[in-house]
Amino acid sequence: MEYVETEGDSVDEAIEKALNILGLERDQVEVEVVAEGRKGLFGFGAMRACIRATVRRPLRVAEEKGAGEQERMAVGQRGRGVVAEILRLMGVEATVEVKPGEAPEEVVLDIRSGAGGLLIGHRGQTLEALQFLATRIVGERRGDEGVQLVLDTEKYRERRRRSLEDMALRLGEKAKRQRKTVSVDALSVADRRIIHEVLRDDPWLTTKSLGTGPYRRLLIIPEGDRKRKESEKGN
């Protein structure tokens, strides 16, 4: 992991230096205070503040991909052809539009059709199936690298994201109020990721996934709980 250690008259100054060295913003690094620093008396017993700044691993590989833009749109066009053909064979009249996605590696195929909820299915499973097959056929691997196809229709993704965010916050409150771990099961990978993201910034909560395959559950843990576990592990 990439990090720098800097010194300064105060912790803030040390952080400032570290950010200058790394060329990053404050929210892109994790700061650990190594020494608080003391003013001392007439220069005696003074101690410089020292911090260690670690580069937060970016959730998505952003930059460096100016050339990736072309590839992304090319994959999008191929995906569009595949999806349009599947829809035609399903007997659904539709137009498919290629749009850049939110994340740099995502390309969104937005379906406009008269079929409405039919293409979404129960909890989005039909849309998910279309996306999965289109991805397989286009031949892009899902994962850290490569372009990811995201299918959407009637703003389903946005609606789903909102309702998951609401749910995440509600369950987070519940976990804190009851001081108990709340578990959520039967969510897709993408759905779980949204919940992890929403609660990541809450200092009182930790989220974790447990189990494998379709039985994978998401746990929302009040922080106190986590600390206790960690100290147990330490023994």
Partner 1 sequence: MKELVQYLAKSLVNNPDAVEVKETQGDTASVLELKVAKEDLGRIIGKQGRTARSIRTILNAAASRANRKVVLEIVEEK
List residues near partner 1 by CB under 8 A.
Answer: 82, 85-86, 89-92, 115, 118-119, 121, 125-126, 128-130, 132-133, 136-137, 213-214
Distance CA 100, CA 76 (A): 9
Report the nearest approach of partner 1 to the CB of residue 88 (Å). Answer: 9
Report the nearest approach of partner 1 to the CB of residue 127 (Å). Answer: 10
Report the nearest approach of partner 1 to the CB of residue 145 (Å). Answer: 19
**Beta carbons within 10 angstroms of residue 23's beta carbon:** 7
How many CA atoms, within 13 angstroms, populate the side-chain half-sphere of residue 185?
Answer: 8
Q: Among residues 43 and 91, whose Cβ is nearest to partner 1?
A: 91
Report the nearest approach of partner 1 to the CB of residue 134 (Å). Answer: 9
Q: Among residues 122 and 179, whose Cβ is nearest to partner 1?
A: 122
Task: Specify the DSSP element, H or E, that contains 114.
Answer: none
Q: Among residues 58 and 114, whose Cβ is nearest to partner 1?
A: 114
Q: Among residues 42 and 215, whose Cβ is nearest to partner 1?
A: 215
Distance CA 206, CA 218 (A): 11
Question: What is the DSSP secondary structure assignment for residue 44, as one 8-state letter?
Answer: B
Report the nearest approach of partner 1 to the CB of residue 106 (Å). Answer: 20
Q: Among residues 132 and 204, whose Cβ is nearest to partner 1?
A: 132
Q: Among residues 54 and 188, whose Cβ is nearest to partner 1?
A: 188
What is the signed CA dihedral for 221, 160, 191, 153, rounded to 10 degrees?
-170
Residue 211: phi and psi, rounded to 5, are 90, 175
Report the nearest approach of partner 1 to the CB of residue 202 (Å). Answer: 33
Give the chain's count of helices (H) and strands (E): 6, 9
Q: Do residues 29 and 18 lie in contact, with contact meaning Cβ atoms separated by under 8 Å?
A: yes
Q: Among residues 53 and 130, whose Cβ is nearest to partner 1?
A: 130
> In angstroms, what CA-CA distances link 181 with 147, 205, 221?
36, 10, 5
Report the nearest approach of partner 1 to the CB of residue 129 (Å). Answer: 4
182 closest CA partner among 142, 218, 146: 218
Distance CA 98, CA 149 (A): 10
